Structure 1
Amino acid sequence: MRTPFARAVQTLRLHLAGLGRLLRLHTLRGQMLAGFLSIMIVILTIVGFVIFDSAANLLKQNAETLIRHAAVQGNGRLEAMMKQIDSLSLQAATNTYVQNLLGEVEDGFKPTFLDRQGLQPVADQVMLYGSGIRSVEIYTSQGDRLFPLGGDELYDVVGSEFIVKAHEQRGGMYWIGLSQAGEDEVLAIRQIHLIQRSFAPAGYLLVRIDRQVFRLDSLGEDMGVGAVSLLFDRDGQLIAATADDALSGADYASLLASEDKTVEINDRHYVLVKQHSDIAGWTLLILTPVEAITKGIFILRAAIIVSAAIGSVLFIIFSVLLSTAITRPVLRLIKSMRSVRFGELKPAEHISSTAEIGELVHTYNQMVGNMKELIRLVYEKEIMQNRAELKALQAQIHPHFLYNTLEALYWSLLEKNEDELADYVVALSELFRYTITGHNREEWVTLAEELEQIRRYLLIMGMRFGDRLSWRIDSEMDDNRLLLPKLIIQPLVENAIQHGIENKIGAGFVSVTVKRSQEPGYFHVIVEDDGAGMNEEKLRKIRSKLAMGADKAMESSGYGITNVQQRLRLHARSETANISVLAIESREGEGTTVTLTIPIRTEVVEHEPAYHLDRG
């Protein structure tokens, strides 16, 4: 009779024999199974280690993040309480009765018993609304106690260095820390300034707070991981702590100075998180046991091992079934699909197989039908699009037609002795040619070409405004060598006429001046008018929008100068990174001045004439 062990061995042999038959490598199914199993073992091993390591690190990081959030929350509670006490003490320090009494003391008046007792309601209000406030004491500038009656002087209660610190706060609250008398209380002091006497110092307000108020017992309870919180003042003295027994004998100075995330105290490892208070200058430490954070890692390891085992078994079973279902019908389906290689879209014949393969064949046939339909639709769409583009092209006016028409108008005016109108037509034609032609509207042109464009524009505007408009163009630079972005000055001239001269009653003057900048490597283009100008409010809004680069907002207001600024910065981003490329000055009723600062960029030409144009 065979033993249970022998039966188990025999069963294992049968299973291995069956697996060996499946893994015959000369067959596609055997190759698929062998490949799948090999890859599965490698992947599961790698993924198991990676997941375990990543999950462990993520668990630690999340715990550290939780602890840090708890530290921020605890520090926020402390700072909220400190702000409340600070606000209440400030109300007491600025109280009218306190201010008047201290002012009289500064003048040499000696307060009576009733005068000093009048400070009781002020102190009661602070103690009523403040958390854990034991007492409120008021002293004169000489350190004499004014309220409550009797007791030590200020210099006997706190050290002189803290009085100096309170003076340096200029009326702000200075948190001293534990009382020098060793009592279970925390001290905070602020200097009182007389508001009616140019904030002259006149005394001090001292607040005594119960030490237990600063304990954060609820912090560890909220986290639920046995966290210990420690609160230290500026001098490293322990203000408050939770679970003192757990950290008995710990070196607090080394904890405050440590930069490590993990520390060891009493043979126990803790995760250390620090949080500094900007209000009091105190430091909050939260220590969390490492084992409380990592206890879930062991459960994770067991879960990964069990999941890997179950996944391996299921993978083998489904691999056998899948390989059998795929390898038989897939070759016949491939034969049906080979026609696509030769550009023919023919549906595949129906193949009786598994539901998945049948669905694949059905989907392929649907795809063939959809592709044929899409080809037809695309073909029709292209025909319709070509027709629409043809109609659009037919609706466009070729620039040369415009130039030829203006040329014919020019000669017609000359024949009729309309020389002035002919000049305007030529200027208009050249203005259109300069604006429209070119491969790129953002191309660079010479300063001479740009100034010539401004001259044409002003000539045409002169026809509109008549004697109301006079102008001048003056340049001291090398106009035929200097390069600048095309159409960079004309928007400024248009603004000067439309928003300056047009809104002015009477004649107006516009000048365009080009001169060298005091900043090496730059030159200025100054567009100035004596038009209506702008008030301070409108000028401030324009400057603000220029600083923000608010193109749409600026253009909606009628001022397109932001586009000029952005174009200059885009064309010369490195040169103008720290330079204000556009400045605007204006006074209501006196005109507006816009100054462009442009990097010098040159090219060599044969002649270099100076440029001086004016009218009027």
Structure 2
Amino acid sequence: MRFIQLRERNTLRNQIFISFTLTIILVLTFAGAFIYGEVSVLLKNSAEKHIQQTAIQANGRLDALLKQVDSLTTQIAVDAYVQKLLSREAEGSRSNFNERQSLLQIANNYMAYSSGISSLELYTIDNKRLFPLDDSSLNRISGDALAAADEKKGRLAWIGIDPRSPDTVLAVRRINLLDHAYSPGGYVVVRVNRDYFNMFASDSADRSEARESMLLSDSEGNPILSDMNDETAQAVAAQTGSTVTVGGQRMLAVRQHSDVTDWKLVMLLPVEAATEGISVLRTAIYVSIGIAALAFLLLTLLLSTMITRPIQQLMRSMRSARFGGLKPLPATRNPLRTMEINELNHTYNRMVTHMNELIQVVYEKEITQSRTELKALQAQINPHFLFNTLEAFYWSLEEKEESELARTILAMSGLFRYVIGSAEAHEEWVTVRDEVEHTRRYLQIMKMRLIDRLHYEIDAEEELLHVPIPKLILQPLVENAILHGVESRIGPGSVTVRIRSSLPGLVMISVSDDGAGMDAETLARLVQSLDAAAPQASKKGAGVAMFNVQRRLKLHYPAVSGPSGGLHIESKPGAGTTVSFEITMTSKGEALL
């Protein structure tokens, strides 16, 4: 009883109502969550864009400051007096006190252009310091700094915080001697005050109101400049991702990379500051979802009733139909039904009519196919009767010692068996050897008819006999050569078949005769007839065979034949005719061998 009640409740109307209700609840829930998430992301992205713009501007200022120092050290490295002094040092001539004293004026001139440089030092390649005027060596700088300068090959290497002076940033440039094939001549060492890289001195108040923080660190993550303490700055530099945690507070992080020094600039903004006002959006989304769900429930109930009632009427009408006795529905139109329901009734009636017609057609085709198969089986008796009769003639002639005539009968049997079997699908492709043997049997029979008027030669390379080739594509050309070449002569004539490898992967097959040949006009008409849409038979009926060979070559070898390929005919009056074509050594017929 309970199963029957559940079955009665499992109606299309209830399914539509429940499915649509669940769907709209899910859609509205996901839509609300999506909108809430998108707006949150939008607010977050807006804040990120703001601090990203600030970071880009700060990074631009940083690059400008770095390029200023880079330009200054470049001018020092290429200064004529510095180059002269280092060249002499490289040649073994040590600089005296006065020469080194002259470097003071040069250094002061260059340092006047930059207020951030705290010290400027010049060293030779063998660790001797030329400026300032003391005996300190380059060993006071770490080997990693020198290796970084050497790796830059004359470009400025930014090392980071100077271990000997934490308030300065260290940079080293190797000086290459221009007059000595740019060989290393020394080093210029620059120490820059950390405050020199403060890009926010003018707008620090605005950043404080926006609760933004900034961190500038070197490639190793060591802080160079920050408005946080060193421990917190190192923790921020070690974190990745779009958000970081600083003292238990989640903050948006925007990073900029300096191409000049490989330093990283990180701008931070609290997540709460970027997502203010989302609670109002959340309440608006909840109210919108509730109103939309209630309205959709009412519309779903009305729509499900309008859809299912006409369908139930159609189902009651279709229950009367039985397989083998399909009947169309009465052509009645209810004005209350929708256009789709009326079209459904009309489509059902057309389907019933077509099914009845198809049943009749299939029945008739089955009968026709049975009759055709029976006739085909009966037709197979005739070729077998012909082969058996020729075999009987052959053995009878052998008993009478008529060997030549027996070989002719045997050749006829092989020729008929080869030709009649060509209609079978699996024999569409043969080897060149098979085609040559068939052609040889045909020439043997024609030799029997023409006696001394026919001489023939078949010259085929042994390694090409295994190549696949369409069946009955060579013998029609030989037949055409005998018909139009040998028989047109008064005296004896000859036919030559040659099979050679013309190019790698290609086989050239040619059939030549020594007949009367053709003039240019006749040859042009023949070539035009081969490319025509339909065959044009000559008086002796050879045009159809040539046309058939041409079409098959273009079908099976389109890449070789080309738009104007296929058969190639050469002929001159009194010089005979040669018909040739090319095939590939591999084709789809190879799988059948």
Q: Between Structure 1 and Structure 2, whose CA radius of gyration is higher? A: 2
Taking structure 2 as the reference length, the TM-score comes to 0.47
